[in-house]
Amino acid sequence: MKTKILLVLLLFTGMNAFSQNQGVTTVGIKAGVLSSGVRGEAANSLNQLIDQTNGILKTTDRTGFFAGVNVNVPVSKNLSIEPGAYYSQKGYDLTGDFGIKDLGLLGVNAKADLLNQYIDLPLLLKGNFGGFEVFAGPQISYLAKSDLKTTAGILGINLLNKDIDASGQFNRWDAGLTGGIGYQFSNGFNISASYDYGLSKMDANKSVNAYNRAVRLGIGFQF
């Protein structure tokens, strides 16, 4: 994985040198909302923490935010390479009747809120056509921390409210693809919408078919 990151940095350095004859390299910032979930065996990816009791668990997407920086390196009149680094909140929610291992407590109408904090490193090929942008490329992500917040109650009475460090249950590295569309305004502001498609299994043992998926809506500025 360190080799892959080094190759990305070397590629950026080469493109930066090439861009001297093609256009102006710009630095940008971007932030926005992110709706993420897990596709595949989502519930099973927490099987080391949760005892399923009734055979029914509902998985829903989680809304978070992302923010970070990028460098846009022109390689031709309409094309550029854009590496970036973003903090991203991903995860999903589980609802149903289940128990938390080692707590000896059954949760009725329980909820488990999984927050995975990633550092995303995309490398985009971007086309700009009169302000309208289309972009796509690979993305490597590092899981900095994973928190599982569990709540449970009966008849409106809160019986459980506990935070668990779930970092050890998940694969620290995620490789995937990202792509989307946007618009770059002449004053430097830009808007974008994109989709992340994770290719690496999320669980630490890489034995469960659960993968990250996310939709991003962002606003940014190129200096």
The CATH number assigned to the domain holding 200 equals: 2.40.160.20
Q: What is the rounded CA–CA span in Å between residue 192 and residue 86?
A: 15
pLDDT tens-digit profile of 63-105? 999 999 999 999 999 999 999 999 999 998 877 665 555 444 4
pLDDT tens-digit profile of 22-42? 679 999 999 999 999 888 765
For residue 202, give the DSSP letter. Answer: -
pLDDT tens-digit profile of 102-157? 444 445 567 778 899 999 999 999 999 999 999 999 999 999 999 988 776 654 44
Q: pTM for the full model?
A: 0.79
**Domain range for 172:** 2-222
In a 13 Å sphere around the CA of 211, the CA atoms on its Cβ side amount to 12
Domain count, the chain: 1
Burial 190-217 (b: 16+ CB within 10 A, else e): bbbebebebeebbbbeeebebbbbbbbe
